[in-house]
A and B are shown apart, each in its own frame.
Chain A
């Protein structure tokens, strides 16, 4: 078959012999190509008659033209027979999922140039030739490191760069998923740096384990790595719940967060239902408490002050069972033990955070010694997010489309996201609202979780860009790949990733799914590289056509 398309220096691997757009095309490997050179998760280009396709290798199979070849095997010493049959009567088939169509004249485009990449809506014909994707091809598809693209790592077996379109990344909610110890925090740190460098978005990070603010741990190399504050001192504000621990590290926090009782709403209690072990009835009772005796916003403070005899009265007034009210009272008392909750006349901390965010500074909230207290994390994240989301919503509505008055896009980063977005609560909390309303009010989520399967499926389907490290639970894999075309094929890719320093990137911010070896982070050299090409931030992406 003749074609005008240059293979761009890829190695000839074989020919398309069948397949479908949905399941991917089958490429029969040429006798000259070794099946062991083909790895799941790498890329191949397919030279069709008019277009060149780029696809992801999703499976490798061994086949024979005649079933008898399995029975009539050559002698082990007969290398000629084995060599002859390999690739002719006994051959390997590689499944390739065509993802995008490369530009017409491949040779004329260099990596980094703006090119039209359209998603593959058809597949190459029979006997189209397949090549390994060359550095140039990968460069054309992923390799633009510019004002909006941030370099995150390299594809398997190649040195070309994979870059994330950060502008698109912050347009929608995104997620980092993976078992514990697969490098979620590491990736998140990198993505946050990219966000700070390439977009005008600001982030609010609920930093449970104090990994992003000043410094973090690289547990594999057991060394400290720089956090956002060290890299971008003027653009990052560190707030803390535990002033002591922050100061111990030698940093002065930009603010200490205190939560007033009057800021806590029944909605927050609902999020805590699981950690506080509350029954659904108790949660319902909490929603009614503000109505009791005109408590209103003071409901939590008043309720915690109540002496047990009065609980009976409350139960009667709210027509709840006394047992429920007693249980609710007993469990909510645990909140009293959290010293950052109390009666505070001003809302200094919240204003401080809002102020920083509006001025374009990223805010990292460290939890210090409360790192293992899930109730503290959920409560603080919930209260602050609601306040800030409300504020952002007001601002956006107030601006009435005048982009000069609008606040910057805000990305809220939460860990243990399934606690906030489980199917039971997602429909009723601020987090669910943010995930569903997309970027209408310029607030999106970056969720970090090891159990994506426990997140509400409606929320998962709204997540634009997914970064998936190794997962092994079936339910979690299904959830992470939900709403992705060809999820079945990607499962194979996902299941075969290494547990460290590799992640499958897919979704809104990339032209096609790609397995990435994450770029190095933590050495002096890596900091230099990260900070060196700081290109001017642009206020707007330029392609807000569909906004």
Chain B
């Protein structure tokens, strides 16, 4: 299982902010992440909350202090970081994730992954993990989350469309790598890339019945 990469530092019903353990080690834009550790003892911690990375930012830990340029005398960026080892302690990479799904810890067997907002947001200090391929496959069985993404309050403008495209591309790519899909329960999991793209596209089209322009942009983004 992939190790944890970040920790929730701010949490609300629709999104959470996580700070990465290592500078610049954030999941890519549009990636599906999970707050909560399924292997932790039952009854401790929060439910598993899934979010889609929609904004990655790196800046000073102490927002009162401005970052100064330091590399005038350095040959390369790498040299700069090597010469200033304190940087990785005074700078931090944070990312925002729009919450799109959740499941109870034992839910993988019972309710499975349920798209939609959880009753409660993740705890602060919950560990954040990149999702397993099996989770991605399960997630890709349903595209209701697109509605949440399209209307997420902290996600608007061109960035929103990019996040959605990136997310769908990632799901398709993961599906391709996993082919055939291990989770065949329900018999609906599309096994072929084109079919999944179509399914995703149609889900988008259903959401954007009155916005031809945006739908076109998103669809173009799907195949690029």
Give the interface of A toward B (CB within 8 A).
31, 64-66, 68-69, 71-72, 74, 78, 80-81, 83-85, 87-89
Contacts and interface: CB of A to CB of B under 8 A. Distances in A.
A81 B205 CA distance: 10
Contacts of B215: 85, 89
B213 A68 contact: yes
B210 A81 contact: no
A66 B197 contact: no
Contact of B216 (A64, A74, A88): A74
A80 B169 CA distance: 14
Contacts of B216: 72, 74, 81
B202 A80 contact: no
A88 B202 contact: yes
A87 B209 CA distance: 11
Given A72-B216, A78-B223, A65 B202 contact: no
A72 to B, nearest CB: 4
Given A78-B223, A89-B215, A65 B209 contact: yes
Nearest to A72: B212
Contacts of A88: 202, 205-206, 209
Interface string B127-148: 0000000000000000000000
Q: Which of B197, B205, B206, B210 has the most CB of A within 10 A?
A: B205
Contacts, number: 53
B212 A89 contact: yes
B212 A71 contact: yes
Nearest to B205: A88
18 contacts: A31-B202, A66-B210, A66-B212, A68-B211, A68-B213, A72-B216, A74-B219, A80-B194, A80-B197, A80-B198, A80-B219, A80-B223, A81-B201, A81-B220, A83-B198, A84-B198, A84-B202, A85-B215
A445 B215 CA distance: 62
A81 B212 CA distance: 11
Given A78-B220, A78-B223, A80-B222, A89 B201 contact: no
Interface in B45-70: none
B36 to A, nearest CB: 34
B222 A85 contact: no
Contacts of B202: 31, 84, 87-88
B213 A81 contact: no
Nearest to A88: B205
Nearest to A31: B202
Contact of B205 (A68, A71, A72, A89): A89
A85 B209 CA distance: 10
A78 B201 CA distance: 13
Nearest to A87: B202
Contacts of A74: 216, 219
Contacts of B205: 84-85, 88-89
Which of A64, A84, A85 is most buried by chain B, counting CB atoms within 10 A of its CB? A84
Which size class do B's interface residues fall under? 20 to 34
A128 B197 CA distance: 28
A4 B210 CA distance: 35
B201 A66 contact: no
Interface of B: 194, 197-198, 201-202, 204-206, 208-213, 215-216, 219-220, 222-223
Contacts of A31: 202
B222 A72 contact: no
B212 A69 contact: yes
Contacts of B197: 80
Given A72-B216, A74-B216, A89-B215, A84 B208 contact: no
Nearest to A89: B205
Contacts of A71: 212
Contacts of A78: 219-220, 223
3 tightest A-B contacts by CB?
A: A84-B201, A88-B205, A65-B209
Contacts of A72: 212-213, 216
Nearest to A71: B212
Contacts of B222: 80
A68 B217 CA distance: 14
Given A66-B209, A71-B212, A80-B197, 4 more contacts: A78-B219, A81-B216, A84-B198, A85-B205
A74 B222 CA distance: 13
A84 B209 contact: no
Contacts of A81: 201, 216, 219-220
A309 B8 CA distance: 125
A328 to B, nearest CB: 75
Contacts of B220: 78, 81
Nearest to B222: A80
A413 B209 CA distance: 58
A27 B210 CA distance: 20
Contacts of A69: 212
Nearest to A74: B216
B219 A84 contact: yes
A426 to B, nearest CB: 56
A68 B208 CA distance: 12
B192 to A, nearest CB: 13
Contacts of B198: 80, 83-84
Given A83-B198, A84-B198, A88-B205, A66 B219 contact: no
A88 B202 CA distance: 6
A221 to B, nearest CB: 48
A402 B202 CA distance: 71
A261 to B, nearest CB: 80
A6 B195 CA distance: 28
Nearest to B216: A72
Contacts of A85: 205, 215, 219
Contacts of A84: 198, 201-202, 204-205, 219
Contacts of B206: 88
Contacts of B212: 64, 66, 68-69, 71-72, 89
A64 B194 CA distance: 24
A204 B123 CA distance: 94
